Structure 1
Amino acid sequence: MHTVWKGSISFGLVNIPIKLHTATENRDIKLRQLHKECNSPINYSKVCPVCDKEIKNEEIVKAYEYSKNKFVVLDDEELENLRKENEDKAVEIVEFVKLEEIDPIYFEKSYFLSPDSGGGKAYSLLRKSLQESGKIGVAKITIRSKEQLAIVRVYKDTLLMETIHFPDEVRSSEEVPNIPSEENIVQKELDTALMLIEQLTDQFDPEKYQDDYRTALLELIEKKKSGELTVSASEKEAKIPSDMTDLMSALQASLDKTRKMPTTRKRKEPIKKKA
């Protein structure tokens, strides 16, 4: 499993060297865009709309747009210094809470934690402590220059870290439009709805579910492949420079002209001297 981060996690005076591994993956099927005429993949270029030309990476700077078309430019050195100040490669658990106290809207991404060299015993201690207490740890971590709030909990036999949103990153539900106020619900309708919920209630088993669209799309792709209903990208033709074209035209014209000329000339008889 690929390691995406190395550092340590601490609670109190206990320090555990760890590795971070992405716990989930996006299984979406990515479709390429082709030019319909020749089936070649489409490339995307970084183009400046004012200069009307393609821009190289070394010509690009980062900036924050604080109002429409007004920017504060930040150079790479400033950003790197900020990153180094905040990324100390340590996860510090600052407090312990109950998992049910955190609404799922805060959860973002999951990572497996594995002990690095020499961290096995401390790793086991934290895992056992969380299991016995029924609590989870709340911590802070910086990943890819972004400071994250996170929780550490036990998942099966593994410590799992889940990054969670800061409060100001979760939008207020009061801003959602057209939410109806409480209306008069007929008791019979409510009883029927509750009965339906009861009939559909079961223990959650994730293995029962699958992405039906992705499965159908893969079947369609395989069907087209086996039926040889495929296309190939056209080879890019070598473009002859215009000056080369002009030169070739001139050479060809010269060659054609020489072909029209007689290949032999009549030999002149030598002038005889009079006796």
Structure 2
Amino acid sequence: MHTVWKGSISFGLVNIPIKLHTATENKDIKLRQLHKECHTPISYQKVCPGCDKEVKTEDIVKAYEYAKNKFVILDDEELEKLKKENEDKAVEIVDFVKLEEIDPIYFEKSYFIAPDNGGAKAYSLLRKALVESGKIGIAKIIIRSKEQLAVVRVYKDTLLMETIHFPDEVRNVDEVPNVPAEQLVVQKELDTALMLVDQLTTTFDPEKYNDDYRTALMDLIEEKKSGKETVTTTEKQPAATSNVTDLMSALQASLDKTKTKKTTTRKRKPVAAKSTNDKKTTTALKNA
């Protein structure tokens, strides 16, 4: 497994060197967008609409929009300094609570915790303490420049860290529109609903649930591959920049202009122009 974070976790005076590994993965099937005419993958460029030109990475700065079209620019150095001041690569468990006290709406992303060199004994101690107490730890950690609230718990035989949202990141449920108020429920309807719930009640087994859409989509893709319903594209050179395009257009227009002055209707290639045409071509290039 790839290590996404390396540091330590502590509770009390116990310090455990650890590594974090992403516990889940997105299995969505990614579809590319192709040009319908030639089946070339579509590329996306960063373009400044104000200057109407492509912007390079080194010409981009970060900013916070505090009002419509009003920004505060933040330098990379300022952000890096702020990050270092708040990231000491140590995770401190500040509280222990019961898992059922946390509503699932707060949970965000899961990471497996593995002990780093010399951390096996302390790792086992924390794991045992969590199992025996029936509690989970509440901690803070900075991952990818963002401070996260997290819980540390035991999953099977492994310590697991799950980042959770801060309270102000969970929207106010009172703002949900069209939620019906308490209404009188007919007892017979309630009894029928409870009977249905009872019939469908079982022990949770994650292995019985599958992504039917993803399976059907992969079947369709494999079917098309087997039937040779495929297209092939070749890598192409990046398009010329706007300056070069404008220059070539000007040159071509100049050459076309010289052609209209010739008395013969026979087409001539620009590269074949010689002698008396040299002066005209030179003048055309200067005008471009």
- The TM-score normalised by the length of structure 2 is 0.85
Q: Secondary structure at the match of 1:4?
A: strand
- The equivalent of 1:132 in structure 2 is 132
Matched, 1:252 2:272: yes
Matched, 1:35 2:35: yes
Q: Does structure 2 conserve the Cα–Cα contact (< 8 Å) formed by 1:39 and 1:231?
A: yes
| Counterparts of 1:195 and 1:63, CA distance in 2 | 56
Letter in 2 for 1:193: A
| Counterparts of 1:113 and 1:168, CA distance in 2 | 27
Query: Displacement, 1:235?
Result: 5.5
What are the within-5 Å matches in structure 2 for residues 204-223 of structure 1? 204-223=204-223
Q: Secondary structure at the match of 1:179?
A: coil
- The equivalent of 2:151 in structure 1 is 151
Segments of structure 2 that go 5 or more residues without pairing to the other structure are: 256-267, 276-288
Query: Displacement, 1:187?
Result: 0.2
- The equivalent of 1:167 in structure 2 is 167
| Counterparts of 1:251 and 1:144, CA distance in 2 | 57
- The equivalent of 2:80 in structure 1 is 80
Identity %: 77
Segments of structure 1 that go 5 or more residues without pairing to the other structure are: 256-275
- The equivalent of 2:21 in structure 1 is 21
- The equivalent of 2:260 in structure 1 is none
| Counterparts of 1:254 and 1:23, CA distance in 2 | 71
- The equivalent of 1:266 in structure 2 is none
- The equivalent of 1:48 in structure 2 is 48
Letter in 2 for 1:199: Q
Query: Displacement, 1:234?
Result: 5.1
- The equivalent of 2:100 in structure 1 is 100
Q: Assess, with a 3 A threshold, how the Cα gap between structure 1 residues 229 and 63 changes in structure 2: closer, same or farther.
A: same
- The equivalent of 2:3 in structure 1 is 3
| Counterparts of 1:133 and 1:167, CA distance in 2 | 26
Q: Deviations over 1:146-191 (max 9, x none)?
A: 0000000000000000000000000011000000001111000000
Q: Which has the higher contact order (CA 8 A, sep 6+)?
A: 1
Matched, 1:227 2:231: no
| Counterparts of 1:235 and 1:10, CA distance in 2 | 52
| Counterparts of 1:236 and 1:170, CA distance in 2 | 46
- The TM-score normalised by the length of structure 1 is 0.88
Letter in 2 for 1:129: A
Q: Does structure 2 conserve the Cα–Cα contact (< 8 Å) formed by 1:38 and 1:234?
A: no
Query: Displacement, 1:250?
Result: 3.1
| Counterparts of 2:162 and 2:48, CA distance in 1 | 39
Number of positions where the alignment pairs a residue of Structure 1 with one of Structure 2: 256
Q: Does structure 2 conserve the Cα–Cα contact (< 8 Å) formed by 1:39 and 1:234?
A: no
Query: Displacement, 1:233?
Result: 1.9
Query: Displacement, 1:232?
Result: 1.4
Query: Displacement, 1:244?
Result: 9.0
Two-structure CA RMSD over aligned residues (Å): 2.2
Q: Deviations over 1:32-90 (max 9, x none)?
A: 00110110001111101110000001110000001110100000000000000011101
